[in-house]
Amino acid sequence: MLAPRLRARQSPDRWAHTCTAGPPATRRRRESGDWPAGLASVHTGEVTTPALRWLDPPAGPAVELLDQTRLPAEEVVVTCAGVPALIAAIQRLAIRGAPMLGVAGAFGVALAAARGEDVARAAADLAAARPTAVNLAWGVQRGYRAWQQAAAGPQNRAGRHDRGGRQEPAGRQDRARPQVPGAQRAADAALAQAREIAADDARASAAMAAAGLALVPAQARILTHCNTGALVSAGEGTAFAVILAAHRAGRLARLWVDETRPLLQGARLTAWEAQRAGLPHAVLADGAAGSLMAAGQVDLVIIGADRIAADGSVANKVGSYSLAVLARHHGVPFVVAAPVSTIDPATPGGAAITVEQRPAGEVTSLAGRPVAPAGSPAYNPAFDVTPPELITALVTERGVTRPVNAAALRALAGGRDGAEGPLKAVHMELWGA
């Protein structure tokens, strides 16, 4: 297994120290072409470290990541020279967030192809790295499909056959073999597809921000959960992109940031991004959200999503369902922002969503220090599921959908794999209509 290489820095202008030896590219400041067109850096304030970057030879092929587990104390860049290292980074949450996992999955396929590895096996391993976030498997599938079609060649894309004229099983067709004709073409196709996914996600982020702004009243006090900014997207994020748009339009009075236990993605990451963007914000304990709503201090709740089932049920960071129940009780609009790629038509409802269970130590310790008696068991689901009847509106790159139900989701999910042609019309009931 190829271990990831780490480098850390404390300022945006130069590396402060080396964790282990890394390629020369990790010592550079940003140069033109360092990351794919459309892939955003963490660009709030003076910070310009990309959440993900592809490295070409001689530094690569490799995928470079900003290690989100080390924020906000320091910016550490992880260089994944192989798919096992990338999978390890995904599983320990060095890179996270549904849209960015889709981007990472596609670049993982490109990495396996560029290294002449077993692309089918790499794709299967990548897709299984985290079970709940549907974008990961979706991005892997798109990257793999591009590689597979290019590897087959224009004359054989319907499938190869053995000497007896029988079509080879898909698993046998799909194995990457070093030194075979067309291998470079196939690797290039996978990389191009990954870059296209990143560019599409950046455009989707901008479109969500524009559409979601219509839901934000003047002088809004917005509550958000977990982290949904540029760290999780090739653009400015999902829910956080809407919040940024509201701030720029002069509509944001206060951003309430749930700390988001147990890994504190709100306190560590969302507050970090909000501070650098100059947003008026405050961090609160997750358990304080109810009293804040009861005091009339919240005008809107907006979150992201890791998977949206066919009926409109939303899997998101654990604690989201509780917020939805509180918001309904207090008459506060509860909005979900996510790209269409997060909709999974193959999952019929919330009960069918596989919820990832994380290690007990994430709950029984804090910042690496035990807080519970040794050996204490823990219940640590990474996500929970909010039923569609608690969701006021869904914001995607195709507009604002309300109510959120199976019919609306069927329309939104049409063409989610990036098919060419105009987007299907979606029935939309705009806020206040």
- C-alpha distances (whole Å) from 200 to each of 40, 109, 194, 250, 340 are 12, 18, 10, 28, 11
- C-alpha distances (whole Å) from 32 to each of 39, 57, 107, 148, 347 are 12, 15, 19, 30, 41
CA dist., res. 342 & res. 304, Å (int)? 10
Active centre residues (catalytic): 306
